[in-house]
Structure 1
Amino acid sequence: MDVVKRVQFSVLGTEEILQRSVVEVTKTDTYSGNEPVISGLFDPRMGTLEHNRNCSTCEQKNLFCPGHFGHIKLAMPVFHPMFFDMIRKLLKCICFRCSRPFASMRSSTVFRNEILRIKTIKNPKKRWDAFVLLCSNPKINKRCGDDCTEEQTDIESGCRAKQPTRYLKESPMKIIAEWKTAEETVNKEMSPSEILKIFQRITDEDIELMGFHVRWNKPEWMICTVLPVPPPAVRPSIIEDNGQRREDDLTHKLSDILKYNNQLQSKIDSGKGTEDQLRVLINLIQYHIATFMDNTIPGLPVAQQRNGRKLKSVADRLKKKEGRIRGNLNGKRVDQSARSVITPDPYISLDELGVPFRIAMNITFPEITNEYNIAELKALILNGPDEWPGAKYVRLIDDGITITLKYADRDKIANNLKYGDIVDRHLRDNDYILFNRQPSLHKMSMMCHKVKIMPYQTFRLPVLVTNGYNADRKIAL
């Protein structure tokens, strides 16, 4: 078995998106009747949601198919909303015509020594910060390579183009270049297509100098030309009681992106679209891609459903307490545990813990069947999961199948119970459990107690034992 030695985070480039993609999505339709539309947002090559259908790519059922990405080819490039501020910072550091970094073309020994120092910085983030700081030096001229000698080659000395005085962030997704002189001020909107060409001219050597990487994160990848389409498993449809299909928020956003992208491509191909019409469509695509990725970007209108509900973007599914990272990957939610409020009880023994009936009927103890307890376990099986003391599951030793007693024939299961079968029974008096209250600051924050089943909804703990838990708040089992 292969061993994972390292993990490399990177920006998805156009080529990698196309390599991972199994289909180009071109149609806004999802289903035709009960069949997914080919080249649509639920193309069967991206995976399946139905139990009776196999994935067209990996031939697996939906239980085992992880899903496969598709892609949308954008008619015109747009800004990646997660890198917009970095795009503007980078533009301030390089020539808009020849794409050379200003600091690298200085004839001053001080600047050249500083460039050599930056190249020795191994941490890419620190190298980027040092590069931006150097290029923000007020001694940098406003004309590309202005102080270089005539003997230097054109590549080394710069193109002599007059640089913008500043790059303005007019809106969350719009960059304005401003040339300011004593006589006049000229403003020009920098389109994603123009900025993409500027970034594509940056040499590999300069890419490394800036803290980027020619393999993992090239500057041109901060401009979207291809949009990855997540598989249906990420955005499953919901079938309502009346049989109607309700699509996920991400599917709605992808449908909007496709609709306007197809309109833009049609106008470009026909040559009938005016410049204003093309700009409006590009701005719409930019907006929908931005709110598809993050619906909380300051300055952008929040994307909503018709009923006014805020659409849940990709970032919303990852960030915050309920997101995938904190809520699932880092979340310590486990089975066979319960949480409630603590109540002091002076009438139970020091080693006992009062557990509510409701919790005792939910948390189970796996008891192995043998000649001494088989009669007792049969009685618990007959009681089932809704009567205490009872049992919730039976795991058969022969084939490993787990039977849920709520829906099974309990008489038949009890009669066929064998030695070695495992019965998951309810908690009962004198079982032992671990009890914990966070924050777990010392070893007495988690201790073992003997169960005493009691009525009501709170844990009962002897008053003298609460000190170890610092138990003045909620406490968990």
Structure 2
Amino acid sequence: MVKEQFRETDVAKKISHVTFGLLNANEIQQLSHLHVVSKNLYNQDGHHKPVQHGVLDHRMGTSEKDNSCETCGKGLADCVGHYGYIDLELPCFHIGYFRATIMALQTICKTCSRVILPPEVKQAFMEKLKRPMSYLQRKALRKKIYERSRKVSICPYCAAYNGMVKKCGLLKIVHDKNKSKTESPVLIEPYLNALDHNKEIEALIPKNLEVLNPLDVLQLLQRIPDEEVPLILMNNEVGKPSDLIQTRILVPPICIRPSVVSDLKSGTNEDDITMKLTEILFLNDVIQKHKATGAKMSMIMEDWDFLQLQVALLYNSETSGIPLHMMPKKSTRGFVQRLKGKQGRFRGNLSGKRVDYSGRTVISPDPNMRIDQVAVPEHVARILTYPERVTKSNIQFLRELVLNGCDHHPGANFVQQKETHLKKFLRYGNRERIAKDLKYGDIVERHLIDGDVVLFNRQPSLHKLSIQAFFAKVMPHRTFRFNECCCNPFNADFDGDEMNLHLPQTEEAKAEALILMGSKSNMVTPRNGEPLIAAIQDFITGAYLLTQKDVFFDRAKACQLISSMLTGIDSTVRIDLPPPAVFKDELPMVPTTSQGFSSNLAIVGGYYFPARRQQ
């Protein structure tokens, strides 16, 4: 399908700013179409239908070509997918915001939830926050507030003791009340008398650590006064501190976690994210059952730890510090793994990706090519096609291409009719009839021909000059050939280098490529204005040897050199040869009629040299 040109609307709009925030439980519910509650994937009735309110419910979209979405009724190609949500039985820490949670807790009192700074210091920081700041300035200020908060032991508002808040094991936060050696924590006072008489029990005195579970942290963060939220460097309008703790998670659409039908065994292979979501739902059910039956607190705490781990692995499957008994049996790919690294969305699918209408082969030098030309092998030109719309001016040309078919260059591979959008493959069928029935508005996918604009690229593409636009010239043989002067921007040499060629698919793309990326528009580097496309190596050597004072050419050689220089539009230009530098009568005389030699040449040892001018 040909890409339609982008048409701008008449309404002029200006984007003032972009803000990123946290999704709260209400926003997640508004975003979703479905409450997911069932841990089963398919009904057990033999029809292999997804369970209603399950992770594969078709109201969240579809991953199969023969099924349509039950929310919007569209097929796989058109439905963008719809979200669902899962309510967690107990709140969990977010693995991505875990460090931010610890910093927020260190800044506030663990009893009254006020920011722990003295009133005058707090006022000074609030004044600074009112000024417009860059990201780095805000980051530096956040660090300052955090450092000042760490030094305050007694809350100025409720006189409660506050110590260090730190990570302890996997997704656990502890509040250390033993921060100050001078203070005597309440819980270990009975041991102090015994310590005077027996110094050996010092190591046995329990540390006064208070474990802050996600439920405690959620209640603390909810009680932070709205006017003090800016001191945690958060914005109330886009995300509150309590949103750092998860009580509800989004279930992504099915189209980004498709089920793959297996040929080897009956059933389907489910995506890692689908399986992780079913585990979370299973643990939800277990916790619910244990709470209902009044199970031991230790069992519920263990289930809670498992639930936290599964939620963490859903987002980042490379979470470190997992205890051996909780280690997953096989590694999976979480959301973080889908985005980061060489195979992730940004580097693997956006910055560089596999594309259609491209070719790749070895490069060779060809000094006869213009600096804006690349020689494309005929084999490549028959496969790369351009969708040309039939108009009054080109219908005869396109009819000839349709008659040539797929295997003769220049030809065409497909014809798409305007009314039916039916695509016909020209290797089969009656080409004469198809050519005769060609109408205005039909689209002919013709072969690449001379003069087409192509993009030429060599990896690694280190700067914008590593990909440039050239005019194609279809030639025999199997390599891409271009002028050696153009090697510099690509950092190319001819010791086996390969290069990529892309054929833009619209007139708009061709025009943009030529104006913005054309090799003639990029002859100097934008870095410092140095010339990039210039004569190199054998060009300079050749020019030096040609212009020596003792170098003379006979008429035939001079004509050959001149004809090599005249290419393209200059190939039909008439040249008047200047008189030779040296004249001498021929010895012996050679008849001009039979041999066709000029009368100003002499035969010496079988070679023709310009004779000396007679004095």
Deviates more, 1:345-354 or 1:57-66: 345-354
Instruction: State the Cα distance separating 1:211 from its structure 2 match.
Output: 1.8
Q: How does 1:310-321 map to 2 (within 5 A)?
A: 310-321=331-342
Q: Which residue is equivalent to 1:399?
A: 419
Aligned: 1:248 with 2:271:
yes
- Distance in structure 2 (CA, Å) of the matches to 1:408 and 1:265: 64
Q: 1:23, 1:46 within 8 Å by CA — same for their partners in 2?
A: yes
Q: Which residue is equivalent to 1:200?
A: 222
Q: Which residue is equivalent to 1:43?
A: 57
- Distance in structure 2 (CA, Å) of the matches to 1:319 and 1:443: 26
Q: Which residue is equivalent to 1:436?
A: 456
Choose from 170, 173, 178 the match for 2:171: 173
Supply the AA of the counterpart residue of 2:53: S
Q: How does 1:3-18 map to 2 (within 5 A)?
A: 5=15, 6-18=17-29
Instruction: State the Cα distance separating 1:218 from its structure 2 match.
Output: 0.8
Q: Secondary structure at the match of 1:10?
A: coil
Q: Runs of 5+ in structure 2 lacking a partner?
A: 1-8, 182-191, 193-204, 502-615
Cα pair distance change 1:232/1:84, threshold 3 Å: same
Q: Report the TM-score when normalising by structure 2.
A: 0.66
Supply the AA of the counterpart residue of 1:401: H
Q: Describe the superposition over 1:171-228 as per-residue Cα deviations: whole angstroms up to 9, x where unpaired.
A: 2411122121645531222111111110010011111232212231111111111111
- Count of residues in Structure 1 that have an aligned counterpart in Structure 2: 452
Q: How does 1:415-426 map to 2 (within 5 A)?
A: 417-420=437-440, 421-426=442-447
Instruction: State the Cα distance separating 1:136 from its structure 2 match.
Output: 1.7
Deviates more, 1:13-22 or 1:412-421: 412-421
Q: 2:416, 2:423 within 8 Å by CA — same for their partners in 1?
A: yes
Q: Describe the superposition over 1:244-272 as per-residue Cα deviations: whole angstroms up to 9, x where unpaired.
A: 3111111011111111111011111221x
Q: Which residue is equivalent to 1:257?
A: 280
- Distance in structure 2 (CA, Å) of the matches to 1:229 and 1:351: 51
Q: Which residue is equivalent to 1:150?
A: none
Q: 2:403, 2:435 within 8 Å by CA — same for their partners in 1?
A: no
Q: Which residue is equivalent to 2:560?
A: none
Instruction: State the Cα distance separating 1:467 from its structure 2 match.
Output: 4.6
Q: Describe the superposition over 1:334-361 as per-residue Cα deviations: whole angstroms up to 9, x where unpaired.
A: 5433344422245767775332344323
- Distance in structure 2 (CA, Å) of the matches to 1:227 and 1:213: 22
Deviates more, 1:23-32 or 1:315-324: 315-324
- Distance in structure 1 (CA, Å) of the matches to 2:463 and 2:52: 57
Supply the AA of the counterpart residue of 1:42: L
Q: Which residue is equivalent to 1:283?
A: 305
Instruction: State the Cα distance separating 1:125 from its structure 2 match.
Output: 7.2
Cα pair distance change 1:340/1:219, threshold 3 Å: farther
Q: Which residue is equivalent to 1:162?
A: 161
Q: 1:48, 1:233 within 8 Å by CA — same for their partners in 2?
A: yes
Supply the AA of the counterpart residue of 1:250: I
Choose from 95, 113, 137 the match for 1:99: 113
Supply the AA of the counterpart residue of 2:289: S
Instruction: State the Cα distance separating 1:142 from its structure 2 match.
Output: 0.8
Instruction: State the Cα distance separating 1:313 from its structure 2 match.
Output: 1.2
Q: Describe the superposition over 1:68-107 as per-residue Cα deviations: whole angstroms up to 9, x where unpaired.
A: 111111111110110001111111111011111111xx15
Choose from 389, 393, 403 the match for 1:379: 403
- Distance in structure 2 (CA, Å) of the matches to 1:252 and 1:130: 42
Q: 1:380, 1:425 within 8 Å by CA — same for their partners in 2?
A: no
Q: How does 1:75-154 map to 2 (within 5 A)?
A: 75-103=89-117, 106-107=118-119, 109=120, 112-122=123-133, 126-127=137-138, 129-137=140-148, 140-145=151-156
Q: 2:359, 2:380 within 8 Å by CA — same for their partners in 1?
A: yes
Q: Which residue is equivalent to 1:149?
A: none
Q: 2:22, 2:243 within 8 Å by CA — same for their partners in 1?
A: yes
Q: 1:30, 1:40 within 8 Å by CA — same for their partners in 2?
A: yes
Instruction: State the Cα distance separating 1:27 from its structure 2 match.
Output: 1.2
Q: Which residue is equivalent to 1:148?
A: none
Cα pair distance change 1:358/1:163, threshold 3 Å: farther
- Distance in structure 1 (CA, Å) of the matches to 2:221 and 2:387: 62
Choose from 475, 478, 496 the match for 1:453: 475
- Distance in structure 1 (CA, Å) of the matches to 2:227 and 2:221: 13
Supply the AA of the counterpart residue of 2:233: G
Q: Secondary structure at the match of 2:229?
A: helix
Supply the AA of the counterpart residue of 2:386: F
- Distance in structure 1 (CA, Å) of the matches to 2:328 and 2:447: 45
Cα pair distance change 1:444/1:188, threshold 3 Å: closer
Supply the AA of the counterpart residue of 2:267: Q
CA-atom RMSD in angstroms? 3.3
Q: Which residue is equivalent to 1:151?
A: none
Q: 2:222, 2:242 within 8 Å by CA — same for their partners in 1?
A: yes
Q: 2:402, 2:412 within 8 Å by CA — same for their partners in 1?
A: no
Cα pair distance change 1:125/1:70, threshold 3 Å: farther
Supply the AA of the counterpart residue of 2:90: M
Q: Secondary structure at the match of 1:77?
A: strand
Q: Report the TM-score when normalising by structure 1.
A: 0.83
Q: Percent identity?
A: 29
Instruction: State the Cα distance separating 1:470 from its structure 2 match.
Output: 4.0
